[in-house]
Structure 1
Amino acid sequence: MKKILFATTALVATAGMAAADVKISGYGRFGLDYNEANKNVIGRSDTNITSRLRLQFDMSTETDAGVVFNARVRMQSENRDGNPGRSAPGGDNGFNGARFGVSYGGLTVNVGNIIGAIENAPGLYTTTISTGTGIDGMDFHSLPIKGMNGVGWYWDSYDSDGMGANGIEALYTFSGFTGHVSYSRNNGGTVAGEAKGEARTAIMLTYSFSDYYVTAAYQSSENGPTRVINGKTVETTDGITFAAVGADFGQFGAKLAYGDTEEASSWTLEGNMDIGAASNVVLWVNSTDSEVSTDAADGTAYGINYQYDLGGGATLVAGYVDTAANDSQFQAGVYFKF
């Protein structure tokens, strides 16, 4: 698949340093979005245009000893449910927080807007272009880590709009094994005597062999947000557990994933199949057992995603989701990368 890549190479003046690279890449996506749940929001239409344009800047340089220093920033603009992006500083149409890294051999250490150990676990997201269903993921009902009212993203992850976790992480890969540890801390208040900010520590271990992989991840948190459920105070970001097994047999693929938080436990079964040389279909079902039976995420959701490779880096995407709250969602559009 052809990829248009703009790159500039500049010689670093310091002796003993290799060339420094700056690469620009990204993608665009746009399509029609129908979301039955919008009927519950006053003034919001159930049918809208969904879109995103992302530019990504990757910079790196390598020493004579083979140590690679790198950085990444993104700029993106998007529109979902008739809401054109975020107005907060660092939001749409501006750069996000930078991630800096250093790599040598199989070891990588990143600081700043880190990836996050749970976020990097194989099998967490679906095997589609949007990593969810449809052109923009459609609220990611397929994710097996749930909180009250669905996905809360209670774990550290690379933030394409904001400043990110501003943490530190180490990743190591060797002979089918991948280990990932991440840590972040919110410094909390700005005056003496205010409470400490939240601190998150996460670990992920994955082993890949032949056409299979197994993975597990866990996050602990201190001073994080709490919620009272059934008279009991729970910590929404502490004790997050994830595990998955999956396989890719070329034309066919499958995975089973499980997630658990103090608010809900959930599992997702997914299967995908290539149809001919250009088409792919993904089917998934998710079952969530929430601590509150009236929670909108409690129950079973399922979805189907279809992709057709148009060539030249463009893909036609269509998807349908029936949520645990029995709301229907549908999207169709085009994704193209450059």
Structure 2
Amino acid sequence: MKQLLFASTATIATAGIAAAESGINLSGYGRFGIGYLEDRAGAVTNVNTNVTTTSIVGGAVVQTPGQTTTGTAEVDTNDAILISRFRLNIDGFTETDGGVRFEGRVRLQADENSSTGEANNAGLNGARFSVIYGGLRVDAGNVAGSFDNLDDYFGTEPGLEEFLGQYSGVNYSFLEYDSTGSGGHAVFFQYATGDLSFGGSYDQQTQALNGSSEDTDRWDVFASYQFSSITASLAYGQRDLVNGDDESLTVFTLGAEFNDFYGTLFLADDDVADDDENGTAYGFSVAYNLGAATTLQLVYGDGSADNDSRNIGVGAIYDLGAGASLRGAVGEVKDGDDDGRIQADFGVWFNF
């Protein structure tokens, strides 16, 4: 996403790099506000323990523990809940006399539980390690793959929670940076020279089958070229399945930035195990800076498959200065043949 119009969520950028040759950087953001989702419902896990009973048998006291049962049930919660996120990036870095930079990152993050409206605890995620020299960057560990790093894949995502996306029709599970878990423990590289950049990732996955583990490797490649104010990007990824089939995703994006305007076009083809999710995904996004610290956003995303998700909505950002802004959006989210549901949010975002 373009820094001109809105705050980036890119996972490979390191904010506020210090001038020292080595050290620790802290950066991140917070957000909180109200989120609304029509007919919100979620799954909760219930643990039911029967009370221990006490009896006397042959003059002796005997205690019989009750049975413990665990089940998951879907419960309704309020359509409007308090939404929040606190994210702290912890980056350690050093640079050799020859100009080779080494970095390591972990992230501390806490979000609300969108199913119940309750708060979750903060926790550290898996570590990412990086080597950077000139136009070459290599990441290892909890990394983002080609699609997650692709120019203009995400476009503009309206809302405090960025809940609307032009990519909503994509069903392929690509390698992503994991903010709250261990991540894929994979490798990603990128090389940039002039207006051209290219790279790829490899994730050595395993999946249990008949009592043994089978390789289900996942890899992807990409290339981006910028000419004038337009960037064109193409990416392809593939994942092996234990049954011998392959899943794949091909994505083409165009992004344009002219003064206060930023727009993207999105086209993808995914081939996944579920035939009802195979097909073409398409969408676009627009952001326009009206002046007076106000940016308007519009997004549309859909797909040709029976079970593809459709997103459509508008949003706005009002810059308060010093890295703080008011943000909100309203739109419709729809899965397959299900009825569309209205979703909206509004609140404060502040960077630090």
Report the TM-score, using the length of structure 1 for normalisation. 0.81
Does structure 1 residue 165 correspond to structure 2 residue 184? yes
Partner of 1:122: 151
Q: Given the superposition, is the C-alpha separation of residues 101 and 85 from structure 1 closer, same or farther in structure 2, using an over 3 Å criterion?
A: farther
**Counterparts of 2:211 and 2:299, CA distance in 1:** 49
**Counterparts of 1:50 and 1:104, CA distance in 2:** 40
- The alignment partner of 1:155 has SS state of coil
Q: Residue type matched to 1:285 in 2?
A: Y
- The alignment partner of 1:134 has SS state of coil
**Counterparts of 1:188 and 1:287, CA distance in 2:** 31
- 2:81 maps to which of 28, 48, 55: 48
1:133-191 per-position Cα deviation (integer Å, ceiling 9, x unaligned): 211122x44325522xxxxx6000110000111001111011011112100012445x9
Q: Given the superposition, is the C-alpha separation of residues 169 and 103 from structure 1 closer, same or farther in structure 2, using an over 3 Å criterion?
A: same
Identity of aligned pairs, percent?
29
Q: Given the superposition, is the C-alpha separation of residues 134 and 100 from structure 1 closer, same or farther in structure 2, using an over 3 Å criterion?
A: same
**Counterparts of 1:94 and 1:38, CA distance in 2:** 26
- The alignment partner of 1:330 has SS state of strand
**Counterparts of 1:176 and 1:244, CA distance in 2:** 16
**Counterparts of 1:115 and 1:39, CA distance in 2:** 30
- The alignment partner of 2:255 has SS state of strand
Q: Given the superposition, is the C-alpha separation of residues 305 and 247 from structure 1 closer, same or farther in structure 2, using an over 3 Å criterion?
A: same
Tell me, yes or no, if the aligned pair for 2:158 and 2:298 is still in contact at 8 Å. Answer: no
Does structure 1 residue 252 correspond to structure 2 residue 266? no
Does structure 1 residue 204 correspond to structure 2 residue 222? yes
**Counterparts of 1:205 and 1:83, CA distance in 2:** 41
**Counterparts of 1:85 and 1:116, CA distance in 2:** 29
**Counterparts of 2:303 and 2:288, CA distance in 1:** 25
Q: Residue type matched to 2:261 in 1?
A: F
Report the TM-score, using the length of structure 2 for normalisation. 0.78
1:101-112 matched pairs, under 5 angstroms = 101-112=130-141
Partner of 1:273: 288
Tell me, yes or no, if the aligned pair for 2:166 and 2:266 is still in contact at 8 Å. Answer: no
Q: Residue type matched to 2:190 in 1?
A: L
Partner of 1:89: none
Q: Given the superposition, is the C-alpha separation of residues 124 and 8 from structure 1 closer, same or farther in structure 2, using an over 3 Å criterion?
A: closer
Does structure 1 residue 220 correspond to structure 2 residue 238? yes
Q: Residue type matched to 2:170 in 1?
A: K
1:236-247 matched pairs, under 5 angstroms = 238-247=247-256
- 1:136 maps to which of 141, 161, 167: 161
- The alignment partner of 2:123 has SS state of coil
1:71-91 per-position Cα deviation (integer Å, ceiling 9, x unaligned): 1110010104235466xxxxx
Report which stretch shifted further, 326-335 or 277-286: 277-286
Q: Given the superposition, is the C-alpha separation of residues 286 and 296 from structure 1 closer, same or farther in structure 2, using an over 3 Å criterion?
A: closer
- The alignment partner of 1:32 has SS state of strand
Tell me, yes or no, if the aligned pair for 2:33 and 2:345 is still in contact at 8 Å. Answer: yes
Q: Residue type matched to 1:27 in 2?
A: Y
Q: Given the superposition, is the C-alpha separation of residues 144 and 243 from structure 1 closer, same or farther in structure 2, using an over 3 Å criterion?
A: farther
**Computing the radius of gyration over CA atoms, which structure comes out larger, 1 or 2?**
2
Tell me, yes or no, if the aligned pair for 2:170 and 2:308 is still in contact at 8 Å. Answer: no
Partner of 1:317: 327
5+ long unaligned stretches in structure 2:
4-14, 43-73, 272-276
Q: Given the superposition, is the C-alpha separation of residues 220 and 286 from structure 1 closer, same or farther in structure 2, using an over 3 Å criterion?
A: same
Partner of 1:14: none
5+ long unaligned stretches in structure 1:
10-17, 87-91, 148-152, 227-232
Partner of 1:288: 303
- The alignment partner of 1:261 has SS state of strand
Partner of 1:302: 312
Tell me, yes or no, if the aligned pair for 1:144 and 1:259 is still in contact at 8 Å. Answer: no
Corresponding residue pairs, total: 297
Q: Residue type matched to 1:123 in 2?
A: D
Aligned-residue Cα RMSD (Å) equals 2.6
TM-aligned CA deviation for residue 197 of structure 1 = 3.6
- 2:212 maps to which of 172, 194, 197: 194
1:8-39 per-position Cα deviation (integer Å, ceiling 9, x unaligned): 99xxxxxxxx8312000111000101101415
1:177-229 per-position Cα deviation (integer Å, ceiling 9, x unaligned): 1112100012445x9960314210101110012111000111111126x8xxx
1:144-155 matched pairs, under 5 angstroms = 144-147=168-171, 154-155=173-174
Q: Given the superposition, is the C-alpha separation of residues 42 and 110 from structure 1 closer, same or farther in structure 2, using an over 3 Å criterion?
A: same
**Counterparts of 2:268 and 2:119, CA distance in 1:** 29
Q: Residue type matched to 1:302 in 2?
A: I
Q: Residue type matched to 1:211 in 2?
A: S
